[in-house]
Chain A
Amino acid sequence: MTDDDAPTDVRPAAGAVTDLVTPTWEYAPAPEARDLATIREHYGLFIDGDFVAPVEGGSFATINPATEEHLAEIALATASDVDRAVAAARAAFPAWSALPGAERGKYLYRLARLLQERAREFAVLGTLDNGKPIKETRDVDVPTAAAHLFYHAGWADKLAWAGLGPAPRPLGVAGQIIPWNFPLLMLAWKVAPALATGNTVVLKPAETTPLTALLFAELCQQAELPPGVVNIVTGAGETGAAIVAHDDIDKIAFTGSTAVGRSIQRQLAGTRKRLTLELGGKAANIVFDDAPIDQAIEGIVDGIFFNQGHVCCAGSRLLVQENVHDLVVDKLKARLATLRLGDPLDKNTDIGAINSAAQLERITALAEAGEAEGAERWSPACELPSAGFWFRPTVFTGVSTSSRIATEEIFGPVLSVLTFRTPDEAVAKANNTPYGLSAGIWTEKGSRILAMADRLEAGVVWANTFNRFDPASPFGGYKESGFGREGGRQGLAAYVTDPAEREAAR
């Protein structure tokens, strides 16, 4: 802190009205040490326990979306690299699946511990590569990823009690394709249950966020995980397509957009490959007039502005009971004015950078469509950094149910506010979408919570809370938000043979 920043007395003068909302001081910069993460200049593919160069030698850059600074050159995996990775996974499968569950579990415990030990390094690296605030990588991504490994480690020798038949068998080689919004957490969601149940994996991290997955590969080496059990191939859509198309893969697990998920489902038609999809969402966050309003405001903010709104289950449609609309919107705006947007490595930052130029473009276009369709746009006054990809937290009021910002997944910090009068209307509006990933309910009335939860078509319903995740809690969608669950007992079903399969008639 410099002398210019000397603290001033912020206590209110005697007799003054205490305003607890408007900040009366400036935060000093509190950057996390960037050198906690070491970034190599080049990264190879992680195949059969080693980092190797791609067959065709291609590479692509990964950048820091908050500064557009070049971070590293990443190997571009082509179909022949995917082939090598699948071969390694196939070769590792017999021994890995034959290991006693307890031994497989111990490897996963090792990975969980290694991740905890290097937690801060992963947090910094995740923030640099993704643009999300350090407080989110530090407090959510990394600890929840470690928790997923720890939770599934314990399942490895207890699968007979998972309700999936007396002796659930692994499927074989799982191809896993994950998005850029929670790079490390999505890796853990995919890898932990696959390994616990005895499968081997070929994982493709998102093109814009490969670094934490490549650091996780180092953990696999430190854990002395048998080579080939985890293989990580980096690249963009074509690399993913090569995984989906590979003949020797037994299962595809995909998290991403509904459009891509649908095309994967089409591509797997007529094959014996198993599939789970965790796709898009357009969640309704429903606020009744008897809700604890201040608590609801926190939940609304958490629901749509957490991770810059790059969350498939984000509460992107706020449904407010008409008689409290103005109150909720006023309080929401006051709260948003206090959010701090800026350097993601700063521990006080609430809103980080948009992950890529392409995503920023999409968010910008949809927000413009919202205005064009007559909704009223509002953002708090906040300066945007000059470099990098940034978007102000944005609230649209007066949104019609058919407008694009009320129907399309924006995947950004944009909230559409709609109103309702009766619980029936709230349910009808909430369910009026092909998506069905999550929903929120805010009311003090317990019976109403339960009745609403029954009627909402959503895989996860958060009542008087939002965006909570836990490895013990199954996550996944209804309708076009995909099928299959991740986490919990139900999540294990995605990686074992179908217990409903019957013997053929003679």
Chain B
Amino acid sequence: MTERLEVRKTYKLYVGGAFPRSESGRSYEVTAADGRFLANAARASRKDVRDAVRAAHAAQPRWAAATAYNRGQVLYRVAEMLEGRRAQLIADVADASGVDAEVAATEVDAATDRWVWYAGWTDKLAQVGGNANPVAGPYFNLSVPEPTGVVAAVAPQRSSLLGLVDVVGSIIVSGNALVVLASERRPVPAITLAEILATSDVPGGVVNVLTGRGEELAPVLAGHLDIDALDLTGLAGTDTAELERLAAENVKRVVRAPASEPDFTPPPPGPQIMLRFTETKTVWHPKGW
């Protein structure tokens, strides 16, 4: 009796809720930590970036306008899907990071729990990040955090799932849309996450996942005028001066690259991690008869 041949998957981009190949027709070889061939990941182009930004731009207003309770339920649904794909994610992480299944399981469980953590923030962020202001006059005055708009992020290079989940969660929780560039050498968990997002209720375009060369794509993201903020956490320890210069063209909010990749295992230090991708809006109205 012959052994059954497994059905392999073609790894694609995730743009506007669909899974296109790169319009450039290019791919690059992804290997496991032990050098084993894993996949030919799509090598996104400048045009793919622009398509992803367009999708994000189109999806953002509705995502931001959804009630915080609704966004919370949608994000919680993603955690349910993460749990359901636990075995696949463990395999993905083990392959990507070269760790054993036990260590990979710890990361996957932490990522699922992190997603639950973010899901619970949707309807609290404005309460913690906003406030009434006691101005010296007869005015109602309220400050609330609002999503910045379309955010581009480079996902952490080493922590291919937990780091990615942390970056994605911190950005979309408040109503931003995101174009995220997956870890260049460890993109497979990001693609699985994209499949999870596609089968949960996150509207297409809210999260767009690109795979490819950071050197080629990050400058396109940094200079794109329809992107409002740039998270360079994933480029820890590298020189990002040119990206920051490009970002200044439309006064993007930039989260700089840290000196080395952060430890994503402990819970985030607090709500500021999400408030970095918000704008404080303050509304005044007179009081009177």
In whole angstroms, what is the CA distance A258 to B271 when docked? Answer: 29
A266/B137 in contact, CB under 8 A: no
Q: In the assembled complex, which residues on chain A have CB atoms less than 8 Å from the CB atom of B280?
A: 459, 474, 476, 485, 488, 490
Within 8 Å of chain B (Cβ to Cβ): is A165?
yes
| Interface residues as binary, B270-289 with A (CB distance below 8 Å gives 1, 0 otherwise) | 11110110011111111000
Q: Establish whether residues B240 and A461, one from each chain, have CB atoms under 8 Å apart when the complex forms.
A: no
Complex contact B282–A459 (CB within 8 A): yes
CA distance A469 to B129 in the complex (A): 20
CB distance from B127 to the nearest CB of A (A): 11
Contacts of A261 in B (CB 8 A): 251
Contact of A470 among B136, B270, B272 (CB under 8 A): B136
At the interface with chain A, which of B24-32, B44-52, B257-265? B257-265
Q: Does B133 sit at the interface, judged by CB under 8 A? A: yes
Whether B248 contacts A499 by the Cβ 8 Å rule is no
Assembled-state Cα–Cα distance A459/B281 (Å) = 4
Nearest chain B residue, comparing its CB with the CB of A476: B280
* A464 CB contacts on chain B under 8 angstroms: 285-286
Q: Using CB atoms, name the residue of chain A closest to B241.
A: A270
Highest count of chain B CB atoms <10 Å: which of A261, A263, A269, A503: A269
Are the C-beta atoms of A163 and B129 separated by less than 8 Å?
Answer: yes
Chain A residues in 8 Å Cβ range of B249: 262
The interface residues of chain B lying within 8 Å CB-to-CB of A266 are 244-245, 248
**CB atoms of B272 and A461 under 8 A apart:** no
Are the C-beta atoms of A499 and B272 separated by less than 8 Å? Answer: yes
In this complex, which of B139, B143, B244 has the most chain A Cβ atoms within 10 angstroms of its Cβ?
B143
Shortest beta-carbon distance, B185 to chain A, in Å?
16
Report yes or no: B137 in contact with A479, Cβ–Cβ below 8 A: no
Chain A residues in 8 Å Cβ range of B158: 505
Q: Is B6 an interface residue (CB 8 A)?
A: no
Contact B143 A473, beta carbon cutoff 8 Å: yes
Name B110-147 residues within 8 Å CB distance of A: 128-129, 131, 133-137, 139, 141, 143
Q: Is the CB of A270 within 8 A of B239?
A: yes
Among B158, B250, B275, B281, chain A packs the most CB atoms within 10 A around the CB of B281
Q: Contact mask A153-168 → B, CB, 8 Å, 1/0?
A: 0000000000111000
Q: B228 on the interface (CB 8 Å rule)?
A: yes
**Chain B CB within 8 A of A226 CB:** no
Known: A503-B263, A504-B262. A470 touches B135 (CB 8 A): yes
User: A153 vs B239: C-alpha distance in the bound complex, in angstroms?
Assistant: 39
Q: How many residues of B contact A (CB 8 A)?
A: 55
User: Is A472 part of the contact surface with B, judged by Cβ < 8 Å?
Assistant: yes
User: Contact between B251 and A279 (Cβ–Cβ < 8 Å)?
Assistant: yes
**Interface flag for A502 (CB, 8 Å):** yes
Q: How far is the CA of A147 from the CA of B133 in the complex (A)?
A: 14
A490 and B143 contact, CB distance less than 8 A: yes
**Chain B residues positioned under 8 Å from A272 (CB to CB):** 256
Question: In this assembly, does B242 line the interface, its C-beta being within 8 Å of a C-beta of chain A?
Answer: yes
Tell me how far the C-beta of A272 lies from the nearest C-beta in chain B, rounded to whole angstroms: 8
Compute how far the CA of A459 lies from the CA of B144 in the bound complex, rounded to whole angstroms: 10
Q: A263: which B residues are within 8 A, CB to CB?
A: 248
Complex formed: what's the CA distance from A475 to B280 in Å? 8
Least CB distance, A219 to chain B, in whole angstroms: 22
- Cβ of B248: which chain A residues have Cβ within 8 Å of it? 262-263, 265-266, 269
B266 lies within 8 A of A503 (CB): yes
Q: A453 contacts the other chain (Cβ, under 8 Å)? A: yes
Does any Cβ of B come within 8 Å of A40's Cβ? Answer: no
B268 within 8 A of A: yes
Interchain CB contact under 8 A, B143 and A474: yes
Of B148, B259, B263, B270, which contacts A506 at CB under 8 A? Answer: B263
* B98 → A minimal CB distance (Å): 15
B251→A262 contact, CB < 8 A: yes
In the complex, are the beta carbons of A463 and B260 less than 8 A apart? Answer: no
For A435, the closest partner residue in chain B by CB is B251
What is the bound-complex CA distance between A279 and B272, given in angstroms? 23
Q: How far is the CA of A463 from the CA of B258 in the complex (A)?
A: 41
Is A244 on the interface with B (CB-CB < 8 A)?
no
Look across to chain B and name the residue whose beta carbon is closest to the beta carbon of A453. B283
Q: Is the CB of A474 within 8 A of B128?
A: no
* Distance of A472 from chain B, by nearest CB (Å): 4
> Counting CB contacts under 8 A, is B54 at the interface?
no
Task: Tell me, in angstroms, the Cα distance from A465 to B288 when the chains sit together.
Answer: 12
Q: Is the CB of B133 within 8 A of A500?
A: no
Q: Which residues of B contact A268 (CB under 8 A)?
A: 244
Tell me, in angstroms, the Cα distance from A268 to B143 when the chains sit together: 29
Q: Which residues of B contact A270 (CB under 8 A)?
A: 239-242, 244-245
- B284:A468 contact, CB within 8 angstroms: yes
Chain A nearest CB: distance from B225 CB in Å? 9
Is A289 an interface residue, CB under 8 A from the partner? no
Judge whether B35 is part of the interface by a CB distance below 8 angstroms.
no
Q: Are A147 and B139 in contact (CB under 8 A)?
A: no
Chain A residue at smallest Cβ distance from B285: A463
Kindly name the residue among A165, A272, A461 whose own CB sees the greatest number of chain B CB atoms within 10 A. A461
Instruction: Name the distance in Å between A291's Cβ and chain B's nearest Cβ.
Output: 13
- Asked if A480 is at the interface of the complex by the 8 Å CB criterion, the answer is yes
Taking the complex as formed, is A73 at the interface, i.e. its CB lies under 8 A from any CB of chain B?
no
Asked if A470 meets B137 with Cβ closer than 8 Å, knowing A459-B279, A459-B282, the reply is: yes
Min C-beta distance of B266 to chain A, whole Å? 7
The answer to whether B269 touches A475 (Cβ under 8 A) is no
Does the CB pair B264–A505 fall under 8 Å? yes
Are A504 and B263 in contact (CB-based, < 8 A)? Answer: yes
Determine if A465 and B284 form an interchain contact, defined as CB atoms under 8 angstroms apart: yes
Q: Which of chain A's residues have a CB closer than 8 A to the CB of B283?
A: 453, 460-463
A235 cross-chain contacts in B, Cβ below 8 A: none
Q: Chain A 428-465 against B: per-residue CB contact (8 Å), 1 yes, 0 no?
A: 00000010000000000000010001100011111111
Alpha-carbon distance A346/B204, docked complex (angstroms) = 62
Smallest CB separation, A211 vs chain B (Å): 27
Q: A478 on the interface (CB 8 Å rule)?
A: yes
A window 320-354: CB within 8 A of B: none
Additional A-B contact list (16), CB under 8 Å, known A261-B251, A266-B244, A472-B136 = A163-B128, A163-B272, A165-B269, A262-B251, A269-B242, A270-B239, A461-B283, A463-B284, A465-B285, A479-B228, A483-B253, A502-B263, A502-B268, A503-B262, A504-B261, A505-B264
- Chain A positions within 8 Å of B, measured between CB atoms, are 147, 163-165, 258, 261-263, 265-266, 268-270, 272, 277, 279, 434, 449, 453-454, 458-465, 468, 470, 472-476, 478-483, 485, 488-490, 493, 498-506
- B-side interface residues toward A, CB under 8 Å? 65, 128-129, 131, 133-137, 139, 141, 143, 148, 158-159, 228, 239-245, 247-251, 253, 255-256, 258-264, 266, 268-273, 275-276, 279-286
User: Could you write out 21 A-B pairs with CB less than 8 Å apart?
Assistant: A262-B251, A265-B244, A266-B244, A272-B256, A459-B282, A460-B283, A461-B283, A464-B285, A464-B286, A465-B284, A472-B136, A473-B284, A480-B251, A481-B251, A483-B251, A488-B143, A499-B269, A500-B255, A501-B258, A502-B258, A502-B262
5 nearest interchain CB pairs? Answer: A270-B241, A269-B244, A265-B248, A470-B135, A502-B262
